[in-house]
Structure 1
Amino acid sequence: MAILIGTRDGVFRATTVPVDEAKQVLDSGDSPRVRAFSEVDGVFAATKAGLYRSMDDGQTWENLGVPQEEVYSVVASSDGERFYAGTHPAHLYVSTDSGATWDELEGFQNLPSRDEWHTPRHRNEAHVRSLGVHPETPDRVIAGVEVGGVHISEDQGETWTERHDGVHDDVHHVFIGGPDEYIASCGDGLYQTRDAGQSWMRVDTNLEHRYFREAFAFDGQLYAAAARGPPGTWSGEDGADAVLLESANHGETFEQSSYPGGPAEVILAWTAIDGRVLADTNNGRLISRNEDGTWTDAGTVPAGIRSLVVC
């Protein structure tokens, strides 16, 4: 077992929780997403220096040569036959030969809102920040764009439809909870759909915090975290002024939990290990959830954490 931690300085590897020692194993710079998929061997790191794959639990890595260097997201099809990579600027690529070659999914560029995908803070461009596939809908690919909304393909990425009516367009992550049930974490709110994005419902209406980065579900519990504002506001006197939220009823209501580092530090990513939830904060802190529902420190890494995966 290994815990791989994507940070702003590359990927780190640990083998115990609490994390007593984390060794840097990939010098890739900013690494927005590390992921593993049950359908394929290895683990993937989507980084601003390329898409990497490791076949030995993160000890060594190979650059898979996606045409755009800055890769923000990756997903494998449920049959393991296709890898999808989302980039900055916002393009989508597919490989059908385990990453040896890549083809652009040109239909993604033909979406009606494509010319509106941009934001000044990202060189006035956008990126594909989140990709998802559910095993019960193997031909469907779900893409979340920052800034550009949620879009879905029903034919393995060849053609696309916009599913962003009712959801904020600053999409950081789309959690795939079921074949048609997704949770979108956005720069202004947390949104849920139960019909594959045909309609969206905002589920954070009773909260003062609006900036969400990622949601996660484990053992019947939904987890989310929010800051009062975007990263540019996290260095103030109160830090991120963040909250950790838990729901036992699929997001209908949330309870706030205290956690190490909060509220100054905000939780950015989640995973599960040995039957418990592991999360991270923007300051490089790892925290784990105890059986009684409390949260404790679980180690640190010397860089701001962006993503987590257990392999």
Structure 2
Amino acid sequence: MLLIGTTEGIYCAPLDEVDDATCVLDSKRVLRIRKFGGAVFAATQSGLFRSTDGGTTWTNLGAPRDEVYSVLMSPDGERLYAGTHPAHLYVSTDEGNSWRELEGLQDLPSREEWRLPRHRNEAHVRSLGTHPDAPERVIAGIEVGGIHVSDDNGDTWTERREGLHDDVHHVLVPESDEFVASCGGGLYRTRDAGRSWTRLDVAVDHTYFRESFAADGRLYAAAARSSPPSWGGKHGPDAALFESPDGGDTLKSVSYPGQPEEFILAWTASDEAGGDIVAGTRGGHVLRRVDGEWAKSGSVPVGISSLCMA
């Protein structure tokens, strides 16, 4: 089943029947849906929710702040992390029954700089990542505040924001030391755990990236020509989709249904359809990559912000 996180809760449908999707969680905006083990977690502006039946029913885990922007499970399944707005990070070691703030994130030298006027002059922990080859490492992407890394399960932190645009929307972690950061001012990659960064979008004229995805040796990244204040024109975000067979060294623009008005904001991969890549757009459309071509699978009535196969 496909779980579709939207601006008004979560919808659920078979991938081949998206137009018949039903709402299974009524909430404010869903920032992230992620599956860890046998459970699915939804980070929303109404709280952090968990489903253990594939997305049919949901339990609010009572995170310390209502606006949860990111969620992560440690590779060993022992620690559940919740990143919030304002930018705080919490951990639970009892499946969400109790929470402890990881206060080391607040001690970083740049902490007082993390703010954006249109986000109430505050920031949020927009993305959390880890990798099984570095199980004690937690990577936090802050909108707006850069990327920061902990190598002790989140207790202490090091800034890894030098050379990186600080408006971080998503951090993809394909390898233990390799991160791909989708930012409001470019697409960046590190291969030394954030100590240095390479900008990948220098040969394209779209600079506002929201999320990247990797599967079968290929990197996918969608971008708007510029930031949201410019999206009121004839072509909306004037969005584009890029595919890369070499980890981002080259970005090839590819066509997809709805462009340039439809901006792809979410990704997942379909197990039940042989691994097809699935994308969700700002206008509520679900797209699917079949035999190298993008096609529309269906739509939900509100904008899509996250996808997950349950």
TM range (shorter): over 0.9
State the secondary structure of the residue aligned to 1:60. coil
Q: Equivalent pairs: percent with the same residue?
A: 60
State the secondary structure of the residue aligned to 1:20. helix
| CA deviation after TM superposition for structure 1 residue 230, in Å | 1.8
CA distance in 2, matches of 1:220, 1:226: 20
Other-structure match for 2:290 = 290
Matched-pair contact (CA < 8 Å) for 2:237–2:261: yes
Counterpart of 1:90 in structure 2: which amino acid? Answer: A
Aligned-residue RMSD, C-alpha: 0.8
| CA deviation after TM superposition for structure 1 residue 265, in Å | 1.1
| CA deviation after TM superposition for structure 1 residue 18, in Å | 4.8
Q: How many residues align?
A: 307
CA distance in 2, matches of 1:288, 1:119: 34
Other-structure match for 1:158 = 155
Other-structure match for 2:87 = 90
Other-structure match for 2:301 = 302
TM-aligned CA distance change 1:18 to 1:278, over 3 Å? farther
Other-structure match for 2:106 = 109
Other-structure match for 1:277 = 277
Matched-pair contact (CA < 8 Å) for 2:19–2:300: no
Matched-pair contact (CA < 8 Å) for 1:18–1:297: no
Matched-pair contact (CA < 8 Å) for 2:15–2:297: no
Match runs of 1:224-303 below 5 Å: 224-273=221-270, 274=273, 275-291=275-291, 293-303=292-302
Gaps in structure 1 of 5+ consecutive residues: none
Match runs of 1:187-226 below 5 Å: 187-226=184-223
CA distance in 2, matches of 1:238, 1:16: 28
Other-structure match for 1:9 = 8
Matched-pair contact (CA < 8 Å) for 2:82–2:91: yes
State the secondary structure of the residue aligned to 1:108. helix
| CA deviation after TM superposition for structure 1 residue 239, in Å | 1.2
Gaps in structure 2 of 5+ consecutive residues: none
In the TM superposition, what whole-angstrom CA distance separates every residue of 1:79-119 from its partner, at most 9, and x where no partner exists? 00000000000000000001100000011100000000000
State the secondary structure of the residue aligned to 2:112. helix
Counterpart of 1:118 in structure 2: which amino acid? Answer: R
CA distance in 1, matches of 2:56, 2:261: 33
CA distance in 1, matches of 2:128, 2:199: 21
Runs of 4+ in 1 over 4 A off after TM superposition: none
In the TM superposition, what whole-angstrom CA distance separates every residue of 1:263-287 from its partner, at most 9, and x where no partner exists? 1111111110021100011000111
CA distance in 1, matches of 2:225, 2:16: 30
Counterpart of 2:53 in structure 1: which amino acid? Answer: D
In the TM superposition, what whole-angstrom CA distance separates every residue of 1:106-139 from its partner, at most 9, and x where no partner exists? 1110000000000001000000000011011000
Matched-pair contact (CA < 8 Å) for 2:5–2:32: yes
CA distance in 1, matches of 2:38, 2:13: 19
Other-structure match for 1:134 = 131
2:122 matches 1:122: no
CA distance in 2, matches of 1:15, 1:44: 19
CA distance in 2, matches of 1:155, 1:123: 31
In the TM superposition, what whole-angstrom CA distance separates every residue of 1:60-82 from its partner, at most 9, and x where no partner exists? 10000111110000000000000
| CA deviation after TM superposition for structure 1 residue 145, in Å | 0.2
TM-score, structure 1 as length reference: 0.97
1:170 to 144, 159, 167: 167
CA distance in 1, matches of 2:15, 2:253: 28
State the secondary structure of the residue aligned to 1:109. helix
Other-structure match for 2:19 = 20
CA distance in 2, matches of 1:212, 1:41: 31
